[in-house]
Structure 1
Amino acid sequence: MPRIYATPEQLTAWTGQPAPPDADRLLARASEDIDDALLSAVYDTDAAGMATDPDIVAALANATCAQVEYQQATGDDGTGAAGRWGSVSIGPVSLSDRRDDPQAASDVDLAPRAHRALKRAGLLPGVIW
C-alpha cells in the first residue's frame, strides 16, 4: 500500500483553492515524488512506514501539497511529462525541442517549496553516516 502524506483537505488549506476532482491521485503521485526525494532520509516510522514525529508528519504533508501545487502551476498532471518537449504532435508522431536532460529523467522534479519544507524538517540532504 503506497504511503500518501496529505489529504485533499490539507491541499485545500495549502493552496487556498478547492481541491481538484482528482486530488487523491495527484496527492498519491506527489507522495511518491516525496518518497523518491527521501531515499536516504532517516526518521521514525510506524509499521506502515508512516512518520510518527508530528513535525515530520507536518513536513511531509506540506511538501506533498507543495509538490501538487507546483505540478499544477507547471501544467503537469502528475505523470512528469509536462515541460519535457517544446512541441508535441500525435499523428503522425512528432516531438521537438526536448527541454530536459535525458540522463536526469529518473530524478524527481521536486518543487522548491517542497524541498524547503523537507530541509527545514531535517530530512534533506538525507546523508547517512
Structure 2
Amino acid sequence: MARRVYATVEQLTEWTGKPVPPDAARLLTRASEDVDDALLTAVYDVDDAGMPTDPDVAQALADAACAQVAYREETGDTGTGAAGRWSSVSIGPVSMSGPQPSAGGTGAGNVDLSPQAYRALARAGLLPGVIR
C-alpha cells in the first residue's frame, strides 16, 4: 500500500510562509504518518487510494501535516522521535532523566502531535474518533 501524504510542498510553503527545507517531501511524509497515527479511530470517506474525498477533511489533514512539519522544525525533531526524548541528560557519570512530557497533544496513536495539528483535526471532527 502506498503511503498517503496529505500535503504538498506548495501547501507547506503557503502554510508556513517560509522557504521549505530541502527534504520537505520526506518531512511531509513523516508528518502524514503522524496524522495517520492520531486518526486511528477516525471515520471519514476515502477514495481508492485512501485519500479523503470531503474537501474539508482533506484541508484539515493538509493543515495538520503542515503544522506537524513546522512543529518538528521548531523542536529540532526529524520525525524519528529522538529529539526531546529526555528532560535532562548528563555525560559523566552518565545520568538521564526522562521522558520529557509531550509538548503537543497526543492522538489515538500516542503520537507527539503538534498543538496546531491537533486543533486542525479536532475542528474537522476527526478527534477523538468521531463516528458519523
- TM-score, normalised by the number of residues in structure 1: 0.86
Secondary structure, counterpart of 2:97 in structure 1: strand
Please say if 1:9 is aligned against 2:10. Answer: yes
Question: Which residue number in structure 2 is paired with residue 99 of structure 1?
Answer: 99
CA distance in 1, matches of 2:3, 2:14: 23
What is the aligned-residue identity percentage? 64
Give a deviation string over 1:65-121, Cα, whole Å, max 9, x none.
0011111111101111110023376xxxx56222337xx9x7200100001000111
Secondary structure, counterpart of 2:79 in structure 1: coil
Question: Which residue number in structure 2 is paired with residue 43 of structure 1?
Answer: 44
What displacement does 1:30 show?
Answer: 0.4
Question: Which residue number in structure 2 is paired with residue 87 of structure 1?
Answer: 89
- TM-score, normalised by the number of residues in structure 2: 0.84
Gaps of 5+ in 1: none
Higher helix share: 1
Letter in 2 for 1:11: L
